[in-house]
Amino acid sequence: MNINQAGNRSNGIWQGLLYFQKAVMIVTSIAVTCIIFLSVILRYIFKTDLYGIEEIVVMVAFWLYFMGSSYGSFEKSQIAADLLHLYLKSARSKQIANLITSSLTTLLGLLVNYWAVQFFIWGLQMDARSAIYRLPMVIPQSAVLVGFTLMSLYNVVYLIDDVKCFITTIGPKAEKKPE
């Protein structure tokens, strides 16, 4: 599923998710840039420091990184060391490799998503706070949860697509009658 196919994904839920991800990426990118710019101006021009600003930057950056990661999963633009397809000749073997890759990616993604849920619940129970501004640590922990949940969702959708593609390509061969 690429960006063009997302519009064919039926309803506005997919578009809403993409809008949410893009909005978070834009807002957090601007926020991180502005905070770092302000910090540099204060430190090197005014010879003062914004005490503890790193806490805020890290929390905002968590959202930026995990929304970027989930958007990369949507686009399938994350880095992959996929040399196997260079050696596979037939379309069928490539589809089998895609199916295995999608299955493993989905299983691992769901496992990591489970850990993200546990991490978030633990953060709520511990009520951890940042050292300087006493901000709740569930702010960055929620970014981990939301990011991995979206990545897992996209992986499940891709797995379903790969299974459908595999079934439709082997279907005509299975239905072929001997002559």
**Residue 69 contacts residue 28 (beta carbons within 8 Å):** no
pLDDT digits (tens, 9 = 90+) for 13-30: 889 999 999 999 999 999
pLDDT of 171 reads: 58
pLDDT of 92 reads: 82
**For the chain, percent of residues with pLDDT exceeding 70:** 88
The three-state secondary structure class of 176 is coil
> What is the rounded end-to-end Cα distance, in angstroms, of the chain?
38
pLDDT digits (tens, 9 = 90+) for 121-159: 999 999 999 999 999 999 999 999 999 999 999 999 999
Name the DSSP class of 129: B
CA 90 to the chain's CA centroid: 31
Name the DSSP class of 136: B
pTM: 0.83
